[in-house]
Amino acid sequence: MTGQGATLRILERADKEIMKLSRSDRGAVWEFVSKFRTNRHNPGLQFKQLKGDPRLYSARVGTSHRALLLHAGDSDYLLVSVKHRKDVYEDLDRYEYQINRVTGGIEVFDLTPVGDSIVGRLLGTGDKPVEHVSQPALFAKVTDEDLLNLGVAEPLLPAIRRTRTEDELQAFMDEVPQLTAEVLLQIYSGATVDDVRQQVTAPVVAEDKVDPDDYLTAVNRPATPVTTDDEALQAMLDEPFARWQVYLHPTQRKLVERAYSGPTRVSGGPGTGKTIVALHRVAHLVNKLPAGTDRPILLTTFNRNLAADLRARLLTLGGEQVASRVDIVTIDKLAALVVREAGLGAGRRHIDDNRAAQEWRDMLFELDLPQWDPEFLNAEWGQVILGQVLTSRVDYFQARRVGRGRTLTRADRDQIWQLAERFTLRLEEKGVWTWRQIAAAAARAEMDRGEQRTSAGTNGHRYRHVVVDEAQDFNPAHWKMLRAMVAPASDDMFIVGDTHQRIYDNYASLGSLGINIRGRSSRLTRCYRTTCQILVVGLELLTGETYDDLDGGEDTLAGYRSLLRGPYAGSTTSTYPRSPRP
């Protein structure tokens, strides 16, 4: 940048302070940022270097606050804190900053809250000795070398060694860099050093060699969490809650910006930010598109409320410029559009699964076939025959039946196929069909469309990129339709979901449906929705439960963690007497 202007990035810790300010004070921050970027030596800013440290500066923010700034190099600065003017100059030695030797990111923290003040405050100040002073330090069994190799900030080691109780640790969590907090919390929860290295540290290790003195390079690494563009800053200042609805943690940025050689899946427990990752992935893909007015990106989810929420959040994240290049539609609405284009199902009404199950019951009663369970047949027809878009008895004989829970003989399959054909005809005569039938018809239509393109030597797929949210509730026919809508290529499909939150009995192995995610799967393990106290109890209740991973394997909540604090949680078990049979 030429002249007296500067690049100003807002560090995450400053974000949190700014959001606590009044609306008028946040407006003063916006005005300060604008002036600083234009001319940092504007006399009204009172920009000056602080004594005793060549990198720390302060500047005026409105009439009552000052900004604490870290000079990264050249004309590049980090806004690390916004404090009342009387607080900025108090004991500047308390501020510590460094380049983390593991992540390569810049960490800035205030040593005062994490030093003796926390321990002293929690232990009490009276003359009476406190019993737990004699308790062993929480991390006595972990060496300094291990802690540093896991990414713990070195200046915090003395305070860590003095930490003896969970209350002290939880108070500590609020003040230290996030990687340090996560490492300590996982070790305290019983994880081994190797577990922490794999689950917490490995995903954020710097990809290049870390120079502990090169702040200009460090400020551009994903591990330095900053806000840089004006739209994101304005959203944070005007609507802090809306900004946090699209907040992307630095550890997730690699997933968003990585180039993938094919379909990829991101899984994670509730509250880990899967939807936010999907939204940022969409914005990233849009930014790589050539200029135009078409919509080559599909963002799809399961129901209308979720689709409306995705649209609103995408507008918050990237504005109309991003949203206008994206089709945001529910998977069933998309299927309905496809069948309408193909001229299928004209005049037929939609019925839900409950009505379909009743039709099965009525048909079996009319045929006097009490040996067959109508709910089982309805699920077999919907999940296997329609779900896999099977068009012949031979196909059904060879079909995999993942998650169905009952083995069928060849004779069983033969009879089920005949009943399914009869049932399909029954619905057709009544002028109705189910959403699963629509999905299967759409998948067939889209696959036929692809074959026609191939025969004609054209490449007219509907989309260049497909991004899926809430993938756990899609049925196999949905996946076949989506696979046919986008050409197999780099960055073709980005899939996020959590089978622990599955609502509908839709089991699918993506690999068997032509969506090969092997080697391109990632898990999110940090929970932003609940406290660590509640999370610990919840995970204990789920011990022993197994879930599929959408690709024929098992998923797990191992390493799932939260840095949020709250009251201690507990669980109770109650028994209720059974009601007498009528």
In the annotated binding site for ATP, the residues are 268-275
SS3 281: helix
Q: Are 62 and 32 in contact (CB under 8 A)?
A: yes
Beta carbons within 10 angstroms of residue 125's beta carbon: 7
Task: Name the β-bridge partners of 68.
Answer: 58, 81
State CA 333 to chain mean position distance.
Answer: 24
Burial class (CB in 10 A: 0-12, 13-18, 19+), 290: exposed
Query: Measuring CA to CA, which residue among 220, 296, 287 is closest to residue 257?
Result: 287
Query: Do the strands 547-548 and 493-497 form a parallel or antiparallel pair, or are they unpaired?
Result: unpaired
**Whole-number Å distance between alpha carbons of 375 and 356:** 9
With tokens 């690699």, the residue in question is 254
Side chain identity, residue 348: R
| Full 3-state SS string of 342-383 | CCCCCCCEEECHHHHHHHHHHHHHHHCCCCCCHHHHHHHHHH
Q: ∠ CA 404-407-413 to the nearest 5 degrees?
A: 95
d(CA 181, CA 186) in angstroms, rounded, equals 9
- Provide the annotated binding site: 268-275
Tokens representing 522? 């990632």
* Backbone region of residue 319 per phi and psi (left: phi > 0; alpha: psi in -120 to 50; beta: other values): left
| Tally of CB atoms within 10 A around 285 | 21
CA distances from 342 to 439, 449, 582 (A): 13, 9, 53
CA atoms within 13 A on the CB side of 190: 4
Q: List, as one string, the DSSP characters of 82-97.
A: EEEHHHHTTTGGGEEE
Residue 354 CB-density burial (10 A; 0-12 exposed, 13-18 middle, 19+ buried): exposed
- Cα–Cα–Cα angle for 434, 437, 443, rounded to 5 degrees: 145
Q: 186 is written with which tokens?
A: 């996982």
CA–chain centroid gap for 129, Å, is 47
Nearest to 106 by CA among 76, 142, 85: 76
Strand partners, 98: 107
The DSSP H or E segment spanning 456 is: helix 435-456
Report angle CA 227, 535, 540 to the nearest 5 degrees. 150
The letter for the amino acid at 428 is E
- How many residues are recorded in the chain? 582
The SS3 of residue 81 is strand
